[in-house]
């Protein structure tokens, strides 16, 4: 029993270490993107280790026993959520992560192109993070969810009103799905305005870049 408990606690250390690494990768990504773009496309980032209650419920939903093997079969004990302002930014961030040499992508789930029946939208990247503790290396699976602010606010409310509640009526589910479509229309419209603004700003950004290049040359020539 003692050995089992020790093993369980050691297993948790891997998740905690993986979450710290994931947090660092995402902080670096955020800095990289804000360096490349005048408006930082990332609104906010959060990371979490799944609560014990949520782990137990998920294992029950999947008919799995409460063992370390079952825990390791879940992809999202360590998770991160990146919330972007506009739809194009979701794909930009997703592409940046796919190109990141520190991160091994296992699976990409595009619930924007293929929304879930509930109306849920977002991109999920299932990744593996290598963690070495006491000389033993384990690849810890984690899930990164990337959504727009609109998708995130819908998902947050739907999580409270419907998701995982088996008793929710068909009427409520239908209304939530209809709301997801309204939110999607807002996302598309906001994204169109964003693209138009980017085209207008392109000239201004080029001018700023040219001025700084010129200043740099003048300084070097003096």
Binding-site ranges for ligand 0O2 (CB under 6 A): 50, 54, 58, 75-76, 109, 116, 118, 120, 124, 155, 158-159, 163
Q: In what order do the strands lie in the sheet with 78-84?
A: 42-49, 78-84, 136-148, 123-133, 104-110
Shortest Å, Cβ 193 to ligand 0O2: 26
Nearer to ligand 0O2, 87 or 155 (CB): 155
CB nearer ligand 0O2, residue 40 or residue 43: 43
- Give the nearer residue to ligand 0O2 in terms of CB position, either 46 or 201: 46
> Closest approach of Cβ 171 to ligand 0O2, in Å?
17
What does the alpha-carbon distance between residue 150 and residue 121 come to, in Å, rounded to a whole number?
Answer: 10
Short-list 26, 31, 43, CA closest to 143 = 26
Three-state secondary-structure class, residue 97: helix
195 Cα distance to chain centroid: 22
CB of 160 to ligand 0O2, least distance (A): 9
Nearer to ligand 0O2, 23 or 58 (CB): 58
d(CA 90, CA 86): 7
Q: How far is the CB of 124 from ligand 0O2 (least distance, A)?
A: 5
């Amino acid at each position: 029993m003692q050995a089992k408990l020790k093993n369980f606690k050691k297993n948790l250390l891997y998740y905690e270490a993986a979450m710290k690494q994931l947090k660092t990768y995402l902080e670096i990504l955020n800095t990289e993107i804000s360096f490349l773009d005048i408006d930082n496309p990332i609104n906010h980032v959060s990371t979490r280790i799944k609560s014990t209650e949520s782990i137990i419920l998920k294992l029950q939903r999947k008919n799995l026993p409460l063992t370390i093997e079952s825990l390791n079969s879940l992809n999202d004990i360590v998770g991160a959520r990146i919330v972007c302002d506009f739809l194009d930014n979701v794909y930009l961030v997703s592409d940046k992560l796919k190109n990141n040499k520190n991160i091994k992508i296992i699976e990409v789930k595009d619930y924007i192109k293929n929304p879930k029946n509930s109306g849920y939208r977002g991109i999920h990247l299932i990744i593996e993070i290598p963690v070495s503790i006491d000389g033993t290396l384990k690849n810890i699976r984690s899930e990164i969810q990337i959504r727009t602010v609109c998708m995130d606010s819908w998902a947050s409310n739907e999580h409270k009103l419907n998701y995982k509640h088996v008793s929710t009526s068909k009427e409520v589910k239908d209304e939530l799905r209809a709301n997801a479509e309204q939110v999607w229309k807002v996302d598309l419209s906001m994204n169109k305005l964003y693209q138009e603004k980017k085209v207008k700003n392109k000239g201004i950004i080029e001018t700023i870049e040219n001025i700084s290049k010129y200043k740099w040359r003048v300084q070097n020539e003096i």
